[in-house]
Amino acid sequence: MEAPKIFESEYRFCLILWEAEPINSTELVRLCRERLGWSKATTYTVIRRLSERGVIKNENATVTSLVSREEAQSARLDELVERTFEGSLPAFVAAFARRKGVTKKELEEVRRLIDEFEEEGE
């Protein structure tokens, strides 16, 4: 199943949730006020919207995620590559490497990951 769409402000909310879950909704309101500057109403609106889309669960005032950080990151990355690089992973990697620069250590890690994926595919 594909992860539901999570918009930027919702993603920042989810980062807080993933760090603290399971968490009481009152405590989550406090954290969102401190870290995001959100009002109580804004936080509860986001909780309701994400609950309706199956991203989180709010049961007995305890909020937990139904979508992992990894699933959300993968979905966001897939959308970025599709929208910006016409679905080309090599074009994305090339643009990232040119812009940010890649250290020797990072290249070794990428090579190791590619080797692992190739071994899994055999």
pLDDT digits (tens, 9 = 90+) for 75-84: 998 888 999 9
Locate 120 and state its tokens. 């899994």
Give the pLDDT mean for 89-98. Answer: 85
Band (65; pLDDT cuts 50, 70, 90): very high
Band (122; pLDDT cuts 50, 70, 90): low
By residue count, the chain amounts to: 122
Q: How far from 5 is each of 40, 57, 70, 72, CA to CA, in Å? A: 23, 16, 13, 8
Task: Report the largest interatomic distance among the alpha carbons of the chain, rounded to a whole angstrom.
Answer: 52
Locate 28 and state its tokens. 């989550």
Contact between 63 and 47 (Cβ < 8 Å): yes
Band (42; pLDDT cuts 50, 70, 90): very high
